[in-house]
Amino acid sequence: MKNIAVIGSGYVGLVTGTCFADLGNSVICVDINEERVHDLQNGIMPIYEPGLEEMVRRNIAAGRIRFTTSYADALNDTAKPAELVFIAVNTPMGVDGEAELRYVRSAAESIAKTMDHSLVIINKSTVPVGTGDWVSDIVKNTQPTPIPFSVVSNPEFLREGAAITDFMAPDRVVLGSLNEEAAQRVAQLYLPLRGPIMITDLRTAEMIKYASNAFLATKISFINEIANICEALGADVKEVAAGMGYDKRIGRAFLDAGLGYGGSCFPKDVKALAHMANVQGKHPQLLEAVMMINTDARRLIVSKVRNLIGNNGTHLNRLEGRTIGVLGLAFKANTDDIRESQPIDIIRMLQADGAKVQAYDPVAMKNASQLLQNVRLCEDTYEAIAGCDAVILATEWNEFKNLDLERMHKLMRTPVVIDGRNLYDPQAMSAAGFIYRGVGRGYATAN
């Protein structure tokens, strides 16, 4: 059992803290957002993440986790002084595509000013290569009196929507440090998870995180490029991905063609890696292509709508008088996260063309309402479909996988369905009377 402090109670900090508490450790989570901390103290979740609420409440009740806005409370609790401090604050995209480190700086300064005993500071936020050394300098230069500490990089690989499972059953745990003993102390925490633990140097650990996200994003852009070619040549990308995926060297994962990647991670991390390369005078050609293909994936969905129901107006009124239903607002299923959400981007493009948009998402409506303007947010799927000239399936929520096609057909003004997630069988949709377009399903349109 270890005493752990976690700085930042968002997707990563809250899941990390809760899972470590569930493994029997004593955890205090710190956040600067008072409302968030107050809610968490009362068992109210700031995010939608399957299984999280129950786990937080259970560990609060068992006295293994608590929440505070005070660094002193978190680090210097006299009964349980923190031994290990995780930094899990946000690192959003900066103006030039770089990772914005102001929250990491502030967390490091607060730790340095507050700590009254030796600590291992573990960076879990996704940060540019070299940040571990930078954090070390900040702490050293901010401490009022020198107190020993070590910095360890421990990038996080969990996915939103599957965060607890991913955390508890990791494919690997990566630890980077110049201090082997500090890395071993962190490794002890992860032993109960029985996954492989790799210890390397700080900079390599930081790079493993960016390289992993960039590789997964590359797989997605690769399959979207293949999808585009499939459409032109009359092949079906779903079958292509299945056929490729049987090869163990390739694997089927992350070969779903669609709207391209969104979310708070891939877009900013691919961009930040390209930025790091550019700063070093390298030309990251592959990363640039990955990003361009990703932007195109969203545009191609809008082009399909225009081609099927657009009028011949200028770009300002190509969809004037048309009503479009959008099913799903989150960047993927099982989350309420709308950061860099593809559906929201697509809605804005449709609106720029003069379309009226009505939308529904099972959990992301509240967050989306803060970003969207002039969109009718509907109570359920069928309200979002009613009266539409076209419907876009934008997020792969389970409840969109089995729609009542007859009811849908009756409700729509024209039965046009653009399936941005390839959830439906093109032939079945045609048979049900729909004009249907998936992504990369050339076979269906050619026949």
The distance of Cα 5 from the centroid of its chain, to the nearest Å, equals 24
Site for ligand UGA contains 254 (CB under 6 A): yes
Which structure tokens are listed for 37?
Answer: 């901390």
Q: With respect to ligand NAD, which residue has the nearer C-beta, 31 or 206?
A: 31
Q: Which does 31 bind (CB under 5 to 8 A by kind): ligand NAD, ligand UGA, none?
A: ligand NAD
Among 2, 4, 6, 10, binds ligand NAD (CB under 6 A): 10
SS3 call for 248: coil
Site for ligand NAD contains 132 (CB under 6 A): no
Among 265, 270, 324, 416, binds ligand UGA (CB under 6 A): 265
Site for ligand UGA contains 158 (CB under 6 A): yes
Annotated active-site residue 29? The verdict is no
Beta carbons within 8 Å of 276's beta carbon, 6+ residues apart: 98, 128, 129, 210
Applying the rule CB under 6 A, the residues between 286 and 325 that interact with ligand NAD are: none
Which contacts qualify for 54-62: CB closer than 8 Å, 24 or more apart? 55/18, 55/19, 55/22, 55/164, 56/14, 56/18, 58/22, 59/18, 59/21, 59/22, 59/27, 62/21
DSSP state of 236: B
Minimum distance between the CB of residue 123 and ligand UGA, rounded to whole angstroms? 14
Among 134, 157, 222, 382, binds ligand UGA (CB under 6 A): 157
- CA–CA gap between residue 423 and residue 328 (Å, rounded): 13
Applying the rule CB under 6 A, the residues between 155 and 184 that interact with ligand NAD are: 156, 158, 160
Neighbours of 388 (CB within 10 A): 25
- CA–CA gap between residue 151 and residue 155 (Å, rounded): 13
Site for ligand NAD contains 40 (CB under 6 A): no
Which structure tokens are listed for 206?
Answer: 């930081």
Judged by CB under 6 A, which stretch of 89-97, 383-391, 398-406, 423-431 contacts ligand NAD? 89-97
Q: Are 430 and 411 in contact (CB under 8 A)?
A: no
The catalytic position among 230, 265, 378, 388 is 265
Judged by CB under 6 A, which stretch of 181-189, 192-200, 253-261, 384-392 contacts ligand UGA? 253-261
Give me the amino acid identity at 342.
Q
Q: Which does 220 bind (CB under 5 to 8 A by kind): ligand UGA, ligand NAD, none?
A: ligand UGA
Task: List the end-to-end C-alpha distance of the chain, in Å, as a whole number.
Answer: 63
- CA–CA gap between residue 168 and residue 171 (Å, rounded): 10
Site for ligand UGA contains 332 (CB under 6 A): yes
Q: List Cα–Cα distances, 279 to 91, 147, 273, 292, in angstroms.
A: 18, 34, 10, 20
Among 25, 26, 59, 126, binds ligand NAD (CB under 6 A): 126
Q: Give the orientation angle of helix 202-233 with respect to helix 266-279, to 10 degrees.
A: 110
Task: Report helix, strand and coil shares of the chain as percent, to nearest 5.
Answer: 45, 15, 40
Q: Which does 7 bind (CB under 5 to 8 A by kind): ligand UGA, ligand NAD, none?
A: ligand NAD
Q: With respect to ligand UGA, which residue has the nearer C-beta, 258 or 440?
A: 258
Q: With respect to ligand NAD, which residue has the nearer C-beta, 114 or 264?
A: 264
Site for ligand UGA contains 222 (CB under 6 A): no
Q: Report the catalytic residues.
A: 265
**Binding interface with ligand NAD (CB under 6 A):** 7-13, 30-33, 36, 88-91, 103, 106-107, 125-126, 156, 158, 160, 264-265
